Amino acid sequence: ESDLTKGWVAIDLNRDQPIKNKEALIGKTLRNSLNAGEFIQSGQIGSSFMVNAGEVVQMIFQQDALQIVLSCESRQDGAEGEEIQVYCKETRKKYLTKIINTGEVQWLRTD
């Protein structure tokens, strides 16, 4: 909290609007770095990451009664519901997946 200050800034009405209430930031993650004096925009924050780049995740492929689970390496950070790319050493392929839980992703397509 000591890193945040409240102040007047000129804003462009066509851009993302600044966060006006510090409480809106609780439990959120800033997606990029800010310089001193820059304001936090709503598009720059999101939920805390459930998957970190380089982490081993379980990729679930499910079709009808068939379910396959592969151990893969996450190529990106992401929060629940976000799409990230993973790589599977076993198949030597990259997959686009959706984060469904901590360390678990759902297959969307093979890249």
Output the pLDDT for position 109.
Answer: 97
- Mean pLDDT, consecutive 10-residue stretches, the chain (111 aa), reads 70 74 81 81 82 97 96 95 96 98 97 91
Output the pLDDT for position 2.
Answer: 64
Written as six digits, the tokens of 67 are 């379910």
Nearest-angstrom CA–CA distance, 31 and 13? 22
Output the pLDDT for position 87.
Answer: 98
Cβ atoms < 10 Å from Cβ of 24? 12
39 Cβ partners below 8 Å, 6+ apart?
9, 11, 18, 19
List 59's β-bridge partners, or say none: 70, 105
Output the pLDDT for position 14.
Answer: 66
Q: Which domains does the chain have, with CATH numbers?
A: 1-48 (no CATH), 56-110 (2.30.30.760)
